Structure formats: C-alpha cells, structure tokens
C-alpha cells in the first residue's frame, strides 16, 4: 500500500504541472494582438517555438490609431541574434521608397530560416523587430523573441 505522503506529493505534482501548462499556453503565446489608442506596432508569429528549417510567418500590424511610416518596403523588419548581429532582413526594392501602414492594416513576411549570407540559421533564440515613425515624427518600435529547436 502506498504511503499517504507519497500520494499527496504525486497529487500536488500533477496539479502543479497542469497549472504550469495552462500558464504557458495562456501567457507564452505570441498570437495575442492588442489594439491601443495612439501609435503602436505589433509583431505577430503563429507560435514562439519553431523546428529547424520550418518557415516562420511574421505579421507586422499597425495596432494603433495613427498611420505609421517606414523607411522602405521591408517595414523595418530585422531578425537578429540576441547579441544584436543582423541575421536576416528582407530584400528592399530600390524603386520603392517609404512605406505606409494605416491603422489596423498589416503586412506579412515569411522567413525560411536562411540568413542574409545564405547560411541556415542555427538553433537558438532570435529577436524579430520592426521600427517605424508616427505622424509626430516619434519612433515606434516593437520586438518579439522566437526559439528555433532541432
């Protein structure tokens, strides 16, 4: 027969594991998009953990109430290592100048985990960021972190 303390510890472990799992599902998700008053930009990916070689869909959303201006057709998208070294940024058309994103509008990019130098991205943490300008000339920035696993 099992000791009462063993049954108690197993029960507490199961409840704690369930609670932690719910926490991770609710709070670690990158798909939460909140619209706010004033200037705001959001970066949304379908999840935060990706398998090596998996295509990553990135949405840049104007989640504010004022238009945002970006310096080129890449909408300021940059993917860096946590050290800040640039790994990827979309190719920019020389003919296209500034890009505009109206409130509620979004633009999508996909990254196949190939860096600008042609090498495949290694496993690890990557920062996806964007930077635009609001109608007052203030910088509006946002970043999120993703993980690439084996």
Do both 4 and 39 map to the same domain?
Answer: no
pLDDT digits (tens, 9 = 90+) for 14-51: 888 877 776 665 554 445 688 999 999 999 999 999 99
Task: Give the integer Cα–Cα distance in Å for 31 and 44.
Answer: 6
Do both 81 and 140 map to the same domain?
Answer: yes
Q: Output the pLDDT for position 142.
A: 95
Do both 4 and 51 map to the same domain?
Answer: no
Do both 73 and 135 map to the same domain?
Answer: yes
Do both 26 and 90 map to the same domain?
Answer: no
pLDDT digits (tens, 9 = 90+) for 82-113: 889 999 999 886 666 789 999 999 999 999 99
Do both 90 and 19 map to the same domain?
Answer: no
For residue 117, the tally of other CB atoms under 10 A from its CB is 8
Nearest to 45 by CA among 53, 33, 34, 56: 56
| Cα–Cα separations (whole angstroms), residue 127 to 4, 44, 79, 89 | 48, 12, 6, 12
Do both 51 and 106 map to the same domain?
Answer: yes
Do both 12 and 84 map to the same domain?
Answer: no
Do both 17 and 64 map to the same domain?
Answer: no
Do both 124 and 63 map to the same domain?
Answer: yes
Do both 47 and 114 map to the same domain?
Answer: yes
Q: pTM for the complete prediction?
A: 0.77
* Domain count of the fold of the chain: 2
Do both 10 and 59 map to the same domain?
Answer: no
Residue 55 CB contacts under 8 Å (≥ 6 apart), including other chains: 110, 111, 112, 113
65: domain range? 32-149
CATH number of the domain within which 103 lies: 2.60.40.1930
Task: Give the integer Cα–Cα distance in Å for 118 and 139.
Answer: 31
């Amino acid at each position: 027969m099992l000791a009462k303390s063993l049954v108690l510890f197993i029960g507490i472990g199961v409840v704690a594991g369930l609670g932690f799992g719910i926490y991770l599902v609710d709070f670690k998700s990158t798909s939460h998009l909140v619209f706010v008053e004033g200037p705001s930009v959001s970066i949304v990916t379908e999840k935060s953990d990706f398998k090596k070689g998996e295509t990553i869909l990135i949405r840049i959303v104007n989640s504010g109430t004022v238009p945002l201006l970006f310096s080129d057709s890449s909408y300021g998208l940059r993917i860096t290592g946590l050290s800040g070294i640039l790994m990827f940024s979309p190719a920019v058309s020389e003919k296209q100048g500034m890009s505009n994103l109206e409130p509620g509008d979004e633009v999508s990019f996909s990254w196949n985990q190939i860096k600008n130098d042609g090498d495949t991205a290694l496993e690890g943490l990557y920062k996806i960021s964007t930077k635009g300008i609001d109608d007052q000339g203030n910088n509006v920035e946002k970043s999120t972190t993703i993980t690439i696993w084996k």
